[in-house]
Amino acid sequence: MADTDAQKQENRIFPPPPDFARNATISGMDAYKAMCAEADRDYEGFWAKLAKDNLAWHKPFSKTLNESNAPFYKWFEDGQLNVSYNCLDRNLENGNADKTAIIFEADDGKVTRVTYRELHERVCKLANALKSIGIKKGDRVVIYMPMSVEGIAAMQACARIGATHSVVFGGFSAKSLQERIIDAGAVAVITADEQARGGKHLPLKAIVDEAIGMGGCDAVRNVIIYRRTGGNINLVRGRDVWLHELVDKQPASCDPEWVEAEHPLFILYTSGSTGKPKGVQHSSAGYLLWALLTMKWTFDIKPQDIFWCTADIGWVTGHTYITYGPLAAGATQIVFEGVPTYPNAGRFWDMIQKHKATIFYTAPTAIRSLIKAADADAQVHPNQYDLSSLRLLGSVGEPINPEAWMWYYRNVGRERCPVVDTFWQTETGGHMITPLPGATPLVPGSCTLPLPGIMAAVVDETGQALPNGQGGILVVKRPWPSMIRTIWGDPERFKKSYFPEELGGKTYLAGDGAVRDEKTGYFTITGRIDDVLNVSGHRMGTMEIESALVANALVAEAAVVGKPDETTGEAICAFVVLKRARPSGDEARQIAKELRDWVAKEIGPIAKPKEIRFGDNLPKTRSGKIMRRLLRVLAKGEEITQDVSTLENPAILEQLKQS
Ligand code: PRX
């Protein structure tokens, strides 16, 4: 599905539909520019006003930004609030009590609706339940749950009592879960017996048992289990409790714990350049402010909208655009338990039609796989469904190629709906560079312009600004409220990773390359500049996968690189040297399978290499450094045209090319 060169020289422009622009929260480029100018003129005043107007404060803040200990910035420092109060109680007070907060569609198609009043009650009961087992403000709680109202309620309940949650995606292995439980020092784990996805039941509680059984999780006093499927599980006496048993006894109201603006709302682990995942720590007030503002600005959320973000709560997109943003905005949202291809690849379109979704937000990988499915089977083509309820489409998590963008725009949005290609990261808390649907003329493949207040720029390695048209590294020059506060337990790594000395120590380094269009100044993200891969919108460190591979008894050495993939964006390609002789034929296939399963067990199925090649050695410099740039070329199946004079063992290239 490669885009033609003509498409890469993108010159199609789609101005906002006039109807949309007329009613939009940010209506037109003049309005956008005025907001940017306001932020330029009085940066702190700009944010202070937004924070006062958009959040309900228990104690108002008097200082907007504290930069004295940069890059450990503090926002709205002396203010106090509660995130769950802002998401739930505020809606009861605003006349939204009987409004549907969540339309939940289970894997098997069963639909349940939950109003704001009901959700508030569920969260209060769960919050009381957590308190009843001794969980208090500042404690860390790991959440390892399926997509469910209970999962969202668990996050909100933690927020209500000031406990810091750390959600671990249900696809991660026992070992990954154990590492995160230990790193966060979690006192409890909230999980489910099993998850239902694509017609299958997959264990969750058994994986929690395995993770805790690996040792080191001594701080965990309780495991709380939501009964989802009724599948068989082991109950550990004194430690394990059923969620329903714990909750049923609880009162239906729970006073929120007022926390400082900077109180850590959550830690979310993500991959970096080294083998160890980073616990990205977010604040309460600054984070929530941006979750809410981007709902208003990027998604133009209106009271009558039916919003649907297809992400999982295990990723940041599910945090900001399922658990926090839509609820803070008082919206009605769809929450989906299953997968886009079950019972068939028309599931998303069917659900949009059935629930009359107005705003749809998904990942390019999903779009690309649904394009393939629709090409193969006309029955699951979006043109078979009534999608007239839609008014806005969004894309997130990886670059969207112009061809997929056009398909999405034409076939799903029927050329009526703007497509917002939102660039952001776990660390940024919410959207950073994105079109505004009622203002920004769209260009397929470009995330266009930074949101008001976001001082994004493209610079060279010394921090010097580069002219438009010249590719460089993406930075953010000023702190913003929803930015990462630190890496949990590792402030030095936080400084080194995001605020390197070479850039002056105060400029946020996103880790992506970018280029701005010469005429429009629009940004295009050119991909990660570090050893991080993006496979199906899932972020993974090459080192993490290499560490997993070398932990296998058969493996002597491994190097992992990404290669372009039509559906998943990037695919994982591993070059492996075994302790025994290089295998070939069936033996090679057998060992490759073993290693793939091994990686799934060590990290999770999402980290399985698509391709494994065996060599007697890896291409190395004379000082022993693996030359990954050559491996990247080999992985793509291209000829090596680069200089290989520093290579110790050039013959190895031929071997790795063939294997
Ligand atoms: O490389 C960028 C890519 O995804 C990375 C962030 O991944 P993660 O922290 O898992 O968050 C994903 C959901 C926000 C970025 O460094 N990325 C994300 N959105 C886009 C993107 N690349 C291009 N275009 C995007 N819209």
**pLDDT mean for each 10 residues of the chain (659 residues):** 50 94 97 98 98 98 98 98 98 98 98 98 98 98 98 99 98 97 98 98 98 98 98 97 97 98 98 88 99 98 98 98 98 98 98 98 96 97 98 96 97 98 98 98 97 98 96 98 98 97 96 96 95 93 95 96 94 97 96 98 96 96 90 93 86 85
Report how many helices (DSSP H) and strands (DSSP E) the chain contains, helices first: 22, 30
- State the pLDDT at residue 6: 42
Among 525, 533, 535, 540, which residue has the most ligand 1 atoms within 8 Å of its CB, making it the best to mutate?
525
Among 268, 313, 362, 423, which residue has the most ligand 1 atoms within 8 Å of its CB, making it the best to mutate?
423
Identify each DSSP E strand in 129-282 by its residue range.
140-144, 164-167, 188-192, 194-197, 200-203, 222-226, 240-242, 259-260, 266-270, 278-282
Reported as a single tens digit per residue, the pLDDT across 116-160 is: 999 999 999 999 999 999 999 999 999 999 999 999 999 999 999
517 Cα: distance to centroid of ligand 1 (angstroms): 20
417 Cα: distance to centroid of ligand 1 (angstroms): 22
- State the pLDDT at residue 659: 60
Look at ligand 1, atom 14, and give the residue with the nearest C-alpha. Answer: 425
- State the pLDDT at residue 2: 45
- State the pLDDT at residue 27: 96
Q: Which string of DSSP letters, residue by residue, matches 226-270?
A: E-SS-------TTTEEEHHHHHHTS-S--PPPPEETTS--EEEEE
Look at ligand 1, atom 12, and give the residue with the nearest C-alpha. Answer: 397
Tokens representing residue 323 in the block: 């658990």
Q: DSSP 3-state assignment of 438? A: coil
Separation between Cα atoms, residue 405 and residue 598, nearest integer Å: 36
The alpha carbons of the chain give a radius of gyration, in whole angstroms, of 24
According to DSSP H, which parts of 15-69 are helical? 18-23, 29-41, 43-54
Look at ligand 1, atom 13, and give the residue with the nearest C-alpha. Answer: 397
For residue 535, what are the CA distances in angstroms to 311, 341, 355, 528? 15, 18, 30, 12
From 59, 66, 54, 48, select the one nearest 81 (Cα to Cα): 59
Look at ligand 1, atom 24, and give the residue with the nearest C-alpha. Answer: 399
**Which residues contact ligand 1 via a Cβ below 6 A?**
270, 316-317, 396-399, 421-426, 447, 510-512, 525, 528, 534, 539
Among 278, 401, 424, which residue has the most ligand 1 atoms within 8 Å of its CB, making it the best to mutate?
424
- State the pLDDT at residue 10: 72
Judging by DSSP bridges, how do beta strands 222-226 and 188-192 pair with one another?
A: parallel
Reported as a single tens digit per residue, the pLDDT across 633-658 is: 999 999 988 888 888 888 999 999 87
Q: State the closest ligand 1 atom to the C-alpha of 400, by its place in the atom list counted from 1.
A: 24
Q: State the closest ligand 1 atom to the C-alpha of 447, by its place in the atom list counted from 1.
A: 26
Handedness of CA 114, 115, 118, 124 (dihedral sign): positive
| Residues 198, 204, 208: CA angle, nearest 5 degrees | 160
Q: State the closest ligand 1 atom to the C-alpha of 538, by its place in the atom list counted from 1.
A: 10
Identify each DSSP E strand in 287-413 by its residue range.
306-309, 332-336, 359-362, 392-396
424 Cα: distance to centroid of ligand 1 (angstroms): 5
425 Cα: distance to centroid of ligand 1 (angstroms): 5
Write the single-letter amino acid at 503. L
Judging by DSSP bridges, how do beta strands 111-115 and 100-105 pair with one another?
A: antiparallel
304 Cα: distance to centroid of ligand 1 (angstroms): 29
| Exposed / middle / buried, residue 13 (Cβ in 10 Å: 0-12, 13-18, 19+) | exposed
Q: State the closest ligand 1 atom to the C-alpha of 427, by its place in the atom list counted from 1.
A: 9
Q: Do the beta carbons of residue 223 and residue 188 sit within 8 Å?
A: yes
423 Cα: distance to centroid of ligand 1 (angstroms): 6
- State the pLDDT at residue 7: 45
- State the pLDDT at residue 599: 97
Among 273, 425, 427, 475, which residue has the most ligand 1 atoms within 8 Å of its CB, making it the best to mutate?
425
187 Cα: distance to centroid of ligand 1 (angstroms): 31
Q: State the closest ligand 1 atom to the C-alpha of 317, by its place in the atom list counted from 1.
A: 13
527 Cα: distance to centroid of ligand 1 (angstroms): 9
Look at ligand 1, atom 3, and give the residue with the nearest C-alpha. Answer: 398
From 353, 301, 340, 349, select the one nearest 324 (Cα to Cα): 301
Look at ligand 1, atom 21, and give the residue with the nearest C-alpha. Answer: 398
